[in-house]
Structure 1
Amino acid sequence: MHGPALSGWLLMVLCLVAGGYCLLRTRAVAEEERRAARGEAVMGFGMAAMALPAAVLAPPDWTWAVYAVVFGAASLRALTGARSGAHHVHHLVGSLAMVYMAVTMAPGAPGAAGGGQGGHAAHGAGGAAGGIPLLTGVLLAYYALYVLRSAGGLIPVTAAPAGAPATGGPHLSWGARPELALACRLTMGIAMFAMLLTL
Structure 2
Amino acid sequence: MHGPASPGWLLVALCALTGGYCLLRMRSAVEEQRRAAGGEALMGFGMAAMAVPAAAAVPPRWTWLAYAVVFGAAALRALWAARTSPHHLHHLVGAVAMVYMAVVMTASPGGHGGGGSPLLTGTLLLYFAGYVLWAGVRLMPVAGAGTGRVAGAGTGWGDRPEVARACRLSMGIGMFAMLLTV
Runs of 4 or more consecutive aligned structure 1 residues displaced over 6 Å after TM superposition: none
Unaligned runs of 5+ in 2: none
Secondary structure in structure 1 of the residue aligned to 2:83 = helix
Quickly say closer, same or farther: Cα 1:145–1:29, change in 2 above 3 A. Answer: farther
Where do residues 1-199 of structure 1 align in structure 2 (5 Å cutoff)? 1-106=1-106, 109=107, 112-113=108-109, 117-119=110-112, 122=113, 129-160=114-145, 164-169=148-153, 171-199=154-182
Between structure 1 and structure 2, the one with the greater Rg is: 1
Q: Deviations over 1:54-88 (max 9, x none)?
A: 11111011000000000000001001011222210
Structure 2 contact 14–170 (Cα < 8 Å) conserved: yes
Unaligned runs of 5+ in 1: 123-128
Aligned residues between the structures: 182
Structure 1 contact 19–40 (Cα < 8 Å) conserved: yes
Q: TM-score, normalised by structure 2?
A: 0.95
The Cα RMSD (Å) is 1.3
Deviation, 1:159, is: 4.0
**Aligned partner letter, 1:178:** P
Percent identity of the aligned residues?
63
